[in-house]
Structure 1
Amino acid sequence: MRRALLWLAIVTGTTGASAQESPASTAAPPPGAADTVYLSPLVTDANAQDPYAEPAAKSTIGRDAIDLFGGQNLDDALRATPGTFTRDSPQNPGIAVDIRGMEGSGRVTMTIDGVRQNFRFTGHEAQGFTYVDPALLAGVDVSRGATSGAAGAGALAGAANFRTLAPADVLRDGANAGGFVGVSWGDNGGGFAPVAAGAVRTGAWSFLAAASRRSPDDYGNGKGQTVPYTGQDLRSGLLKAEFRPSDAHRLALGAVLYDNDFIANSYDQTIGSRQFTANYAYTPGGHAVDLRVNAYRSDVRMKYGTSPTLPNGGSGAGRRIEDTGTGFDATNTTRLGEHLSSTYGVAYFHDDVDSINSAVAPGFGVNPSGENSIASAFSDTTLRYGITDTILGLRYDRYHVEGSGSVTAGNPLGMPAGRYAVDRSGGAFNPSLTFAVTPLPWLQPYLRWSRTFRPPTVSETLMGGDHPADGGPTQTFYPNPFLKPEKSRGWELGVNVGTDRVLRSDDRLRAKVTVYRNAVDDYVTATFAPAGGAFFGNNPGTSIVKGVEVEGGYDAGFAFANLTYSHTDSDLKSQVNGLGAQSYLPDEVYGATLGARLAERRLTIGARWSKVSRSFIGEENAYGANRPWEPGYDLVDLFANYVFDSGLELRANVANADDTVYTPALSTPAAGTSVETGRGRTWSLTAKYTF
């Protein structure tokens, strides 16, 4: 790593010296490249709101940051965001976002273009996955802590929205037709991955179509050992249409299609995801109305084939889980004079879960069928006076869970044996208060207090059945219709820094620092009864989660540096791996990206360093050679790209350049082996032509 950074410093210093003498240093970016807004080394996503200007713990991952990691690894891009991590599964391509050590079961709202992703199953994995193709993303917006608007309904720790490409992301300014075609190749099992997108604008209408294909093989770790069952066969596509009859009206329709085949949790799996959206905006330009109405439908289906490792193909063969979700939200902003504005609205979503646990016992097993819904009314009222902003947030969420099942005698919760039914509702009032001050144009400190809650899910409330003997010791699972919602209350102290022309006429400096402390009550984990059997239960007492998050950087045009840091301290009850998974973040996570722009800023070269400290896994998960702490690790990645006048872009990435042997923190072991699961040194090359 020292050699890589020394080499980069020499290149950066050389270009810096020449840039001060040459007018080429202020040359405009090549055609099609956007101005750098968020200090990103490549192309910036100009559609996202500037996170450095908001008094909240928010971050934006642009398309450029996704490309920085080879364009195919969302886990690494999310883990490079302060306070944000993922439950890594080398065999399951789904994304499970962890914010401040809380993950799964809706603690973090995950959405695709605003569509709730509530698909989850109970097993040796995260308690919920989002399936989306990184090649078709425009960016990811992350909100940590209490989240305003529709995304905050029922969310305990934050939200992550995966934004797919829209016509505006593909069409150049003023163009009526355009698109791109690209192909990536990677060694270490990567193979070829083509992608194409095209958009047209005719009158008031705009249309977009995009498609992607990727079929990587098993990859190797730093020792050259194959990490088994890490291949997949992914096919995905997008269809978008927008209608703008005037500046006041906008209607957008979209479909996101995803199909993937892989082996995870010991079984061949097929995932099919269909996301449909209808969005309407009415913005007449006055003070009273700035309206947005969204409706959506989500259909995610998982099918189990046979197991390549268990006897007779495994007793779970034939499992099917389907989550059909529908929802809508409506939000309006009213401005009352110069100093007062209010954004208010309603949101509702409903999920219908239908499960068949195996071909042998279709109606009896750990993954239940049932329905759940949340309705929410919310508002955020901002008073701006002088150098101060005061934001009062009000939210009321009400949930409903229903379903039925069968429970055996002698269960630890004292339920009568036989059939039972659950029909539970509840609600909570969750306010927030933010006070921000802007004493200088470039400085904004703020203080925020908030409450959040997360209602129990169908999976937690209605779980039942037995663990199959062919996959380990038999274990009986029980429902818990008496679960209470999780609750969190706490504060954040933050500072935003944003200024230009610090050392040069064309440079910029951005930074965001957040210190937080949350008290969590009734935290839900798997609980084991003294007489045997397991169920999801509320832990007594209050748990404290606190930490520090830092992100930002300096961009001088010819060179740039981005820095991130997270410190997390949590005493949440640890989750037993095997019925869900523990979600403690590493104590410390560091990240640094350094780069230079050469050849009139057409060529970008750089290196990224990341350091993950040791991470606690819980005493319950320390067995055999394992310890309650997993070791930390350092990684170095290298990247370069060149943009031609013709619209051709060439990109090269080297992930894990030092070929470090490691297992990612918060990682699910690869089934059937004990090898380290961190990907070894991997080259990837991309050619993309924009027209």
Structure 2
Amino acid sequence: MRSSHKVGYLLTGCLIVPGTTFSAENEGESVFSTLTITDNAQAETNHPGSSADTYTRPGAYSSRTLNENLQSLDASLRSMAGTYTQIDPLQGTVNVNIRGMSGLGRVNTMVDGVTQTFYGMAPSSYHFGPSNSAGVLIDPNFLAEVDVSRGSSAGSQGVNALAGSANMRTIGIDDLVKEGRQTGVLSRFSVGDNGLGRTGMVAVAGKTDPFDNGGMLGALVGISGTRTYATYENGGGQSSKEFMGEDTNYMRQEPRSQLYKVDFNPDQYNHIEFAGRNYQNTFTRRDITSDDYYLRYNYSPLSELIDFNVLASTSRGNQNYQIESLYNFSNASTTNKSNAVDVSNTSRFTWASVDVEYLLGGKLMDTRYTRGFEQDNETDRNAFSPSGKQKIASLYTGLTLNKSIYQLDLNLNYTRSQVQGFKPACADNEKCFPQGEANLDLDDKALNPSVTLSAQVTPWLQPFVSWSRSSRAPNVQEVFFANEGGASMNPFLKPEKADTWQAGFNLNKEGLLSEQDSFHLKALAYESRIKDYINSESFFLCYDGSRCKDIDNSSGGFNANIYVNTTSPVTSRGYEIEAGYDIGYAYVNLTWSKQHTNQPTSIASSSTSFSYDDLSDLPDSYATLDVGGRMFDQKLVVGSLFKFTGKTKRLSTWPDENTNTMNKDEMPNIPTVIDLYSSYQLTDDVKLRLSVQNVTDKNYADALNRMNQNGMENEGSSSVTTTARGRTWVFGGEIRF
């Protein structure tokens, strides 16, 4: 019997048996599960910037409310424990990094639950190669919050997610329309000096009164625009033109975005939501568009056994390159299309004094990358935006059992991934399989379980421990990398697999030092062991036609960068802390992370090569301290952010001949950066904000910024490091009515 059939029968059986047993033992009576009520207003007061789930949900989970302190989306993500971003000023996207892992599949990055698959290729005016990386095209003005699960994710979020998942939620109708009203308006704006530019957003929403049968109709439309500049002064008074060269001429950007949502509830049991998001930008000599649409349906009748959900989505991203933006190419363009369907049902009931929550679902994804270009002396030996398609089909299930103080979470997903595309023929003197041109089809299967055990040992203490197995399929960009045509493609690339152990506790204590205060803490340790880690290595052509790493015993004119699986496991381990204390008139929040990894670098990441992906090692430690106070009946909030970054590394200029990877060089020490912020609730509808970023005007370079790699000299430049903005003032506000 095929393994897919076995898993299907197993999951079906798991659904039928609990439901049947429940019905038999409780025939003739209704048994309802325990109802838990959370005071959300109190949660927002006690956890500024964080949701209550951060400190009550077992496991490595964090949540942030966005647009609070005029911080960038990158800065907000970097303020979360174990979470960082890969900054690439040439891309215009957000690239989430979890515990040193980033990119398609290593982190499942979503917007409103829809997996994002955009892959950007940005040309550069003076760097040795273009910039290539996965990222999310998103307007931060439309975002409400972001949730991050590290180590493992339950349900569809854990499908093809090696290190975890991040979900960014956009504003909805209920975020605009106040209780008891039928219409609402939300406007956000900000303006900053030192090249930060200005941004503005207006969203309007409305909904009907409930129908007689409990139904409702609502709609939202929003528009947003931003203008930012690449020309600014760093903390040393140096203009960015001196270290970014002519790129500053092409890095001014004015993205425009639109957001649409329609909610229709025919009755109190059926809920339908349609949403669309459009993004347009001209940046680094390319015209970028992104269009995302989804349809969500929920059916939740008066039955504990049925909470049925369907999410269908389609996404399309385009990059059209302007004349002479790419060397030796003209009329160049890339397109990625992704269609997905996610279907699930959740049953909640009580059986034998155990509260049970059972999830069963399936997810299908079909993602295609295509390219077009004209080239002098056309050849298939180039690494410009590899084309191909990836299909992912998964069955997933989750079982949560609650009895007394104990909670047990059991999750399982079975995933089949297929990567398909065209491989050109290899030359007669190149040993290759298959030797001639062929359509490759990499077909892989994975069974990924996870288990989490937690206990509410006291009303304020909840320890937890977990183990999970996760996997990531090779992506199109790795399999069909083609700097030497078919001879640099790897039809035998295997998925990455990770085993992760985590142990920690949540602590929530009201009235710690006074009757009005609260203290919250999440602390944990983790270790991940990754097998078949994927990175690229350099190969030459031996005299017998095979690949070899010894240039002295090879023929000239051939140097393939091939993605391969490492023979030795990659290990990462670390500690993470999130804590908060609030006494009403004052608060303090702290996040701290410390980690170590031995993951190798990729030859293709080199700026002298193709700049595919980047060094993703997190700083050995980093922390954010948020201290503030509330005055005048809490209408005025004044606070300060202290951002600490430990030792960090960047890619070396040249590869290491002994290890066949890029060396990691120590970066200059990054000083503690201090931001000041304030907000004033002028009226019930108007809130004004003021921020001074890098208030001490420190001269430093951001960690994990692609443009801080070595070897990026510009002719006439006095620096090889792209340093961050110096002291910058930002004024903004939010209007709701």
Same fold (TM over 0.5): yes
State the identity %: 30
The alpha-carbon deviation at position 34 of structure 1 amounts to 5.3
Counterpart of 1:542, as a letter, is P
Shift of 1:499: 2.3
Change in Cα spacing, 1:105 to 1:183, as seen in structure 2 (3 Å) is: closer
Q: Does 1:662 align with 2:694?
A: no
Aligned equivalent of 1:81 = 80
For residue 640 of structure 2, what is the aligned residue in structure 1?
607
Which one is further off, 214-223 or 166-175? Answer: 214-223
Please state if 1:208 is matched with 2:228: no
User: What letter is aligned with 2:198?
Assistant: F
Find the counterpart in structure 1 of residue 459 from structure 2. Answer: 441
- Kept in 1, the 8 Å contact 2:628–2:639? The answer is yes
Equivalents in 2 of 1:82, 1:541: separation in Å? 28
Matches of 2:595 and 2:330 in 1, distance apart? 40
The residue type equivalent to 1:225 in the other structure is: Q
Residue pairs, 1:547-626, within 5 angstroms: 547-576=574-603, 577=605, 578-617=611-650
Q: Does the CA contact (< 8 Å) of 1:41 and 1:604 recur in 2?
A: no
Cα distance between partner residues in 2 of 1:676 and 1:150: 39
**In 2, are the aligned partners of 1:225 and 1:675 still within 8 Å (CA)?**
no
1: distance between equivalents of 2:428 and 2:567?
23
Q: Which residue of 1 aligns with 2:530?
A: 520
User: Which amino acid is the alignment partner of residue 345 of structure 1?
Assistant: G
1:406 partnered with 2:433 = no
Relative to the length of structure 2, the TM-score reads 0.82
- Native 8 Å contact 2:483 2:561 kept in 1: no
User: Matches of residues 111-510 of structure 1 in structure 2 within 5 Å?
Assistant: 111-121=110-120, 125=131, 127-203=133-209, 204-218=216-230, 219-227=232-240, 228=244, 229=248, 230-263=251-284, 268-306=285-323, 314-337=327-350, 338-339=353-354, 340-357=356-373, 360=376, 361=378, 365-366=382-383, 367-409=385-427, 414-415=432-433, 417-465=435-483, 478-510=488-520
- Report the CA distance shift for 1:148/1:688 in structure 2 as closer, same or farther (over 3 A): same
Q: Distance in 2 between matches of 1:572 and 1:284?
A: 49
**Against the structure 1 CA distance between its residues 317 and 550, is the aligned structure 2 distance closer, same or farther, given a 3 Å change threshold?**
farther
Q: 1:101-126, CA deviations, whole angstroms, 9 ceiling, x for partnerless residues?
A: 11113210111111211122577546
Q: Secondary structure of 1:495's partner?
A: strand
What is the DSSP-based 3-state SS (H/G/I as helix, E as strand, rest coil) of the residue aligned with 1:78?
helix
Name the amino acid aligned to 2:317.
V
Q: CA deviation at 1:91?
A: 2.7
**Structure 2 CA distance, aligned partners of 1:259 and 1:477?**
37
- Displacement, 1:503? 2.2
Question: C-alpha distance in 1, partners of 2:154/2:43?
Answer: 27
Shift of 1:622: 7.9
Q: Per-residue deviation at 1:40?
A: 4.4
Please tell me whether the aligned partners of residues 411 and 478 of structure 1 are also in contact (alpha carbons under 8 angstroms). Answer: no
* Residues 35/621 of structure 1: CA separation in 2 closer, same or farther (3 Å cut): farther
RMSD: 2.4
Is 1:575–1:618's contact at 8 Å kept on the other side of the alignment? no
Structure 1 match to 2:60: 57
* TM-aligned CA distance change 1:363 to 1:166, over 3 Å: farther
> What secondary structure does 2:316 align onto?
strand
1:288 CA drift (Å) = 0.5
> Could you say if the C-alpha distance between residues 513 and 665 of structure 1 is closer, same or farther in structure 2, counting changes exceeding 3 Å?
same
Task: Please report how far the alpha carbon of residue 501 of structure 1 lies from its aligned counterpart in structure 2 after TM superposition.
Answer: 2.1
Select between 664-673 and 614-623 the one with higher mean Cα deviation. 614-623
How far the C-alpha of 1:646 sits from its partner, in A, is: 4.5
C-alpha contact 1:199 1:207 (8 A) present in aligned 2: yes
Structure 1 residue 325: deviation in Å?
0.3
1:472 maps to: none
Offset, 1:676: 2.8
Match of 1:647 among 685, 692, 700: 685
Measured in 2, the distance between the counterparts of 1:524 and 1:417 equals 24
User: Alpha-carbon deviation of 1:515?
Assistant: 0.5
Q: Give, in whole Å, the separation in 2 of the partners of 1:388 and 1:306.
A: 63
Q: Distance in 2 between matches of 1:581 and 1:602?
A: 44
Q: Give the conservation status (yes or no) of the 8 Å contact 1:112–1:162.
A: yes
Deviations along 1:630-668, whole A, 9 cap, x unmatched? 133221001001012251111011111111111111111
Aligned-partner residue type, residue 63 of structure 2: T
CA shift digits 1:14-60 (9 cap, x unpaired)? xxxxxxxxxxxxxxxxxxx9544374447x7xxx6712111121111
Deviations 1:536-562 (A, max 9, x none): 111111111110111121111111100
Change (3 A) 1:619 1:125: same
- Unaligned 5+ segments in structure 2 are 1-39, 122-128, 210-215, 540-548, 606-610, 657-662
Normalised TM-score (structure 1): 0.87
Is the Cα contact below 8 Å between 1:115 and 1:296 reproduced in 2? yes
Secondary structure, counterpart of 1:510 in structure 2? strand
Structure 2 CA distance for partners of 1:677 and 1:242, relative to 1, 3 Å:
same
Aligned to 1:103: 102
Cα deviation, residue 83, structure 1: 0.5
SS of 2:141's partner is: helix
1:628 counterpart residue number: 665
Alpha-carbon distance in structure 2 between the residues aligned to 1:319 and 1:420: 24
Q: What are the Cα deviations for residues 252-274 of structure 1, in whole angstroms up to 9, with x where unaligned?
A: 110011111211xxxx1222111
Instruction: State the shift of 1:286 in Å.
Output: 2.2
Contact residue 91 and residue 231 of structure 1 kept, 8 A? no
Cα distance between partner residues in 1 of 2:487 and 2:731: 48
Residues 525 and 357 of structure 1: CA distance in aligned 2, closer, same or farther (over 3 Å): farther
Deviation at 1:618, TM superposition (A): 5.6
Is the 8 Å Cα contact of residues 586 and 628 (structure 2) preserved in structure 1? yes
Amino acid at match of 2:698: T
| Contact 1:209-1:239 at 8 Å conserved across structures | yes
Shift of 1:153: 0.7
Matched residues in 1 for 2:427 and 2:190: separation?
57
Contact 1:444 1:496 in 2 (8 A): yes
Taking the aligned partners of 2:330 and 2:151, their CA distance within structure 1 comes to 39
> For each residue in 1:207-248, what CA deviation from the matched residue of structure 2 results, as whole angstroms up to 9, or x when unmatched?
111111111122332223333434211101100010123332
Distance 1:295 1:79, change over 3 A: same
- Classify 1:509/1:649 alpha carbon distance in 2 versus 1 (closer, same or farther; 3 Å): same
Residues 263 and 272, structure 2, Cα contact 8 Å, conserved in 1: yes
Cα distance in 2, alignment partners of residues 656 and 412 from structure 1: 55
Is 1:685 the counterpart of 2:731 in the alignment? Answer: yes
Q: Which whole-Å CA distance do the structure 2 matches of 1:520 and 1:183 have between them?
A: 44
Question: Residue 255 of structure 2: SS of its match in structure 1?
Answer: strand
Contact 1:121/1:459 (<8 A) preserved: no
1:540 match: 567
Among candidates 663, 668, 675, match of residue 637 of structure 1: 675
Gaps of 5+ in 1: 1-32, 467-474
Aligned AA (1:241)? V
Q: Which moves more between the two structures, 355-364 or 592-601?
A: 355-364
Are the counterparts in 1 of residues 380 and 482 from structure 2 also a CA contact under 8 Å? no
More deviation, 254-263/598-607: 254-263
What is the alpha-carbon distance in structure 1 between the residues aligned to residue 588 and residue 331 of structure 2? 51
